[in-house]
Amino acid sequence: MKFFVDTGNLKEIQNLVPLGIVDGVTTNPSLLAKESGDVRLLLKQICETVQGPVSAEVVATDAAGMVREGRELAAIDRHIVVKVPFTREGVKACRTLTGEGLRVNVTLVFSATQALIAAKVGATYVSPFVGRLDDIATSGMDLIRQIVEIYENYGFTTEVLVASVRHPMHVVEAARMGADVCTCPAAVIEALFKHPLTDIGLERFLKDWETAQASRVTG
């Protein structure tokens, strides 16, 4: 399973990339609104840092506007994936952009029927939002299971990109279900590393080693 970082913050990405586990980045208008400076330049810097797919979202709401913005975003860097919302207009724009050979991430997906439609218009990625479904007492991960099953049934190549990830169990369940990608906030990626027994074990190894070295010197 690929790990994307769900952020528009360059420093967070620069901090995670050296770990060697970051395959891409997803942004959205809310995330980019938190950052200062020129958005195109920021997206370019993110692409150069991650050297993998970077989703950048259109803000137009009509298909023609989405297509125009999508082409402009894709011209920033070869790593840009155009993100369009799942609406009737977004579906039309997805069809046009993929027809031109651009990669498209269909976002704000909350049902299996939406995911099926996104695959039929050639989306490169579909982004079901698991955390926002959990927020309204509906299982986000059940939706992932359904989409993975449907895509397998028909051999769709659209990748299932688990979005709105809130904690490590979303990541574990996504991996068990065979989702293609999990996009996580930096804090969730950091949490994937943590285990108290690792910390306690390392502390003991180092202490035992230090004690043995000291007794060799004194003995």
Neighbours of 42 (CB within 10 A): 19
Say whether 120 is catalytic.
no
- The whole-angstrom distance between residue 175's C-alpha and the CA centroid of its chain comes to 13
> Binding mask 112-151 vs ligand E4P (x if CB under 6 A, - otherwise)?
---------------x-x-xx-------------------
Closest contact distance (angstroms) between CB of 54 and ligand E4P is 11
By beta-carbon proximity to ligand E4P, the closer residue of 27 and 76 is 27
- What is the nearest approach in angstroms of ligand E4P to the Cβ of residue 185? 7
Paired tokens of 86: 């799942």
28 binds ligand E4P (CB under 6 A): yes
26 touching ligand E4P, by CB under 6 A: yes
| Beta-carbon-side half-sphere exposure of residue 38 (alpha carbons within 13 Å) | 5
Closest CA to 57 of 75, 41, 69: 69
Sites for ligand E4P among residues 148-187 (CB under 6 A)? 163-164, 183
- Give least dist CB 101 to ligand E4P, A: 22
Nearest to 25 by CA among 109, 94, 83: 83
Between 138 and 211, CB nearer to ligand E4P: 138
Tally of CA atoms within 13 A in the half-sphere of 154 that contains its CB: 12
Among candidate residues 82, 25, 81, the one with its CA nearest the CA of residue 49: 25
User: 18 vs 50, which CB is nearer to ligand E4P?
Assistant: 50
Exposed/middle/buried for residue 111 (C-beta within 10 Å: 0-12, 13-18, 19+): middle
Angle between helices 168-177 and 140-154 (to 10 degrees): 20
Site size toward ligand E4P, by CB under 6 A: 11
Give min distance, CB of 107 to ligand E4P, in A: 6
Question: Of the residues 11, 44, 83, 120, which is catalytic?
Answer: 83
Task: Output the six-digit token pair for 89.
Answer: 């207009």
* Distance in Å, CB of 145 to ligand E4P, minimum: 18
Place of tokens 């299982």: 139
9 binds ligand E4P (CB under 6 A): no
Which residues participate in catalysis according to the annotation?
Answer: 83
Interacting residues with ligand E4P (CB under 6 A)? 6, 26, 28, 107, 127, 129, 131-132, 163-164, 183
